[in-house]
Structure 1
Amino acid sequence: GAKNARGDDISRMKRQVAAFLNFRPLGQKADPLLNPETRIHRGFNHDLTGKLICPIHLDWSDPFTRESIRNKSIRTNDSFFIRAFYWNEEGDIRDVERGFLKGVLLVQTWREIFMHNGAIDDTGDFASDKDGNASVPAPQRKKAKRSTRKCIADILNMTQVTARSIAYCAVMLRFALSPVEIWGKDESFNYEGLYNTILDYFECPEPGSVGADHANDLLKWWNVYVSYVFLFAFHSLFL
């Protein structure tokens, strides 16, 4: 059912977000590296995940701001315009729509949830170091296994990216970046509000309005981008 599917997506994205961030280029990747088996050390207590879930109206580079967010002097429960949702992971508070919902991590999340068919076997196993702490091993490229299983988009007969699928993936990404281990136990963020806000962003503008045109253009962008982005990375798996 839907509950089991959501549980599968939560588990998968816990691992995949760690992989996305751990294997970025030097200087951009997670430091310390993220454990794909747990979300405990994510959220605002980690510099990279904290930056990604930080609202664009707050300056994450400012030490006082970071500390205020971490000690909850500054609340971010209902701040939905977070850096992870933006192109280049930056946003302009003077024009919050510019680059919104074009974040690479968000597109990666959509592709992982709706286009994943289990063709690549990547266990992401952990080994323990001498101090007993989990350490991330060097990535091992495995030969891709052909799979006849359909991806979720095929099962659902999805021929285009939809507003609801983007909203769902935004929720999955935000939760994967959080330190909370159990879905439904996070009272520090309004996930239902996030989902509804993104849905309203696409569906509420009056037909023919500037807002409606922008929403339609954004959906067109998504349908092109998910088809072509990361093609080089995909083909490199078979080299």
Structure 2
Amino acid sequence: MEHTPTPNPTIHRQDKSGQGFYNDMTGGLLCPVDYNWSNTIVQASIRDYHPDFCITACSWPSFLYKDGCCDPQNPTNGLFKGKLLIKAFKCVFTSPTSTYEKQPADSVAHSVWNKNSGKCHTWHDVSTLLNMRSIQPQAIAYVSVQLRFALSSMGSWHIIDDEFNHQEFYNNIVDYLKLPPSPEATKDVDNLLLWWNQ
């Protein structure tokens, strides 16, 4: 069984002030893949707002990558395949229970008995209500922004988080997925979207 380390400091439900780059776990997930979060000098520089370690929407945070790692020789490998990103997507668009390893057969539509009317009502997940037939770049970008905010130390929603612009982050992801710069990049994006839709 895979052991998940305990965040330091402990994450509290009602108070996000100890999250973001102030926390070892969330800081590692938010850290751009350009930097090595396990290096204490990098951590201190990010926390102290050192000008050489600016956190902007121009770098991909590690939570976007499978296993949180980027291969410098092939930076698209594993991009947008992060485990936490996929769980966040399922939580938003299908249901929190869809993040469990084993799924019930009726995980999309659920029946609820209404005692007052004596009728059985069925409710659907968000993807069904939106008539979502495939996963589009905007949906991946939306969940990426929501996850970035959830991991941050921001207590309430703002477009700007220090030097990080959530709107720019969203636009960068959509542009990356909708406007690939080359035929090779187009093929990579097509394969990525196919992977998401499977």
Distance change >3 Å, CA 159–CA 210, structure 1 → 2: same
Equivalent residue in structure 2 for 1:95, among 74, 78, 100: 74
Amino acid at match of 2:92: I
Q: How does 1:63-74 map to 2 (within 5 A)?
A: 63-73=40-50, 74=53
Equivalent residue in structure 2 for 1:33, among 10, 18, 28: 10
Q: Distance in 2 between matches of 1:170 and 1:83?
A: 11
Equivalent residue in structure 1 for 2:152, among 178, 186, 193: 178
Cα shift at 1:219 = 0.5
Q: Deviation digits for residues 19-42 of structure 1, max 9, x if unmatched?
A: xxxxx9435342443212232211
Specify every segment of 5 or more residues in structure 2 that has no aligned partner in the other structure, as ranges. 99-109, 113-121
Cα shift at 1:78 = 2.8
Q: Distance in 1 between matches of 2:150 and 2:70?
A: 21
Q: Distance in 2 between matches of 1:210 and 1:48?
A: 34
| Paired position in structure 1 for 2:104 | none
Q: How does 1:71-82 map to 2 (within 5 A)?
A: 71-73=48-50, 74-82=53-61
Q: Distance in 1 between matches of 2:15 and 2:129?
A: 29
3-state SS in 2 of match to 1:149: strand
3-state SS in 1 of match to 2:161: coil
Q: Alignment length, in residue pairs?
A: 176
Task: Check whether the contact 1:180–1:186 (CA below 8 A) recurs between aligned residues.
Answer: no
| Paired position in structure 2 for 1:211 | 185
Task: Check whether the contact 1:86–1:99 (CA below 8 A) recurs between aligned residues.
Answer: yes
Cα shift at 1:187 = 3.1
3-state SS in 1 of match to 2:123: coil
| Paired position in structure 2 for 1:8 | none
Distance change >3 Å, CA 113–CA 61, structure 1 → 2: same
| Paired position in structure 2 for 1:134 | none
Cα shift at 1:166 = 0.2
Task: Check whether the contact 1:87–1:104 (CA below 8 A) recurs between aligned residues.
Answer: yes
| Paired position in structure 2 for 1:13 | none
Cα shift at 1:212 = 1.2
Q: How does 1:1-239 map to 2 (within 5 A)?
A: 25-73=2-50, 74-116=53-95, 147=112, 148-184=122-158, 186-188=160-162, 189-205=164-180, 209-224=183-198
Q: Taking every aligned residue pair, what percent have the same amino acid on both sides?
A: 29
Specify every segment of 5 or more residues in structure 1 that has no aligned partner in the other structure, as ranges. 1-23, 121-144, 225-239
Amino acid at match of 1:167: A
Considering fraction of residues, name the structure with more strand.
2
TM-score norm. by structure 1 comes to 0.67
Q: How large is the RMSD of aligned CA atoms in angstroms?
A: 2.4
